[in-house]
Amino acid sequence: MKPKPSRPKRQTAGEFVALQRRMARAIMRPLTDRGGMQPKWVNGSSTEKLVRSFIKPNDRMTSFERLEVYNRQYWFRLKDCFYDDYTGLRAVLGDRRFERLACAYLARHPSQSYSLRNLGRRLVGFLEEEPRWILPCRQLALDMARLEWAHIEAFDNEAERTLEIDALIGVDPARIRLKLQPHLTLLHLHYELDGFLIQIKRDEGLRAEASNALEERGARLRSRLKRRLSPKVLFLAVHRHQNTVYYKRLQPAQYRMLMALQAGATLEEACAGIMGPDLAAADLGSQIKTWFEDWASLGWFCRLK
């Protein structure tokens, strides 16, 4: 009689979890400069030897090569998403510098969410801590990173039930606290980047449709647009209206009022804090009324609870 084949050893739940974590760690490690899997593990030992302990080779590929496929796919996917989210920052920095920034940022802050939508959540903080990646155009690059993250927030962040402006009639302004929509971001920028980013995104869309045929034209356009940029203060509201992202320029007084409301000030406090050389006191009441009617029509305020 032939001996019965031995059954494979069954893994415990703890061993299976440990295996999953080891494989995930290997897949999520940054690639080498040549785009391959790291030959050394985090402790300096051989990655190939470690991989053989939990992945079998086949007739075409070694254990190392099999895992490298997933490692490369993971990182190429992250970089593709990062490129799509920050086309404006790429235009500001240029392809080579943006590539180096992308690798450094993703190595420091790999994806921690089920959604790649959150990939750039820490980018502005990273650039503030390590400005060497964006020198000599530090402020321009920071402004663009802030604007592009605001665009992501506006695109798919939550929208609460909107406030009808008539609901404020007869309510004491000292008791009114207005909440702004979660998808709305208020920006104080040092460059007029709204038109620049719109042009860049439009050009990226055209080039995606035409494959690589317009790549050279796109590079010239990005260079020409960047040369036109010069420092100029811009107050901007980035928001969503009827499922479309918009950039709305604000007057300094409007920005001050909305920032105060967003920080939790009452309506009375927000109105009292907007006075400045850019605002005439004579017709202040009518100006504020017009602003609120405009903002309410865009759905910027959440319904009072």
Is residue 242 packed enough to be buried (19+ CB in 10 Å), middle (13-18) or exposed (0-12)? exposed
**How far apart, in whole angstroms, are the C-alpha atoms of residue 213 and residue 216?**
8
**CB 92, CB 144: distance < 8 Å:** yes
Is residue 282 packed enough to be buried (19+ CB in 10 Å), middle (13-18) or exposed (0-12)? exposed
Q: How big is the chain, counted in residues? A: 305
Residue 83 has a pLDDT of 94
Could you list the pLDDT tens digit for every one of the 305 residues in the chain? Answer: 566 666 666 778 888 888 888 888 889 888 998 889 999 998 999 999 988 988 899 999 999 999 999 999 999 999 999 999 999 999 999 999 999 999 999 999 988 888 899 999 999 999 999 999 999 999 999 999 999 999 999 999 999 999 887 777 778 888 889 999 999 999 999 999 999 999 888 877 655 555 555 455 556 656 666 677 888 999 999 999 999 999 999 999 999 999 999 999 998 899 887 876 666 665 777 888 899 999 999 999 998 76
Residue 243 has a pLDDT of 93
**How far apart, in whole angstroms, are the C-alpha atoms of residue 300 and residue 305?**
15
Domains with residue ranges and CATH for the chain: 14-138 (no CATH), 158-193+229-305 (3.90.930)
**How far apart, in whole angstroms, are the C-alpha atoms of residue 107 and residue 270?**
42
Strand partners, 234: 189
**How far apart, in whole angstroms, are the C-alpha atoms of residue 176 and residue 304?**
9
Residue 221 has a pLDDT of 58
pTM of the model: 0.85
Residue 171 has a pLDDT of 80
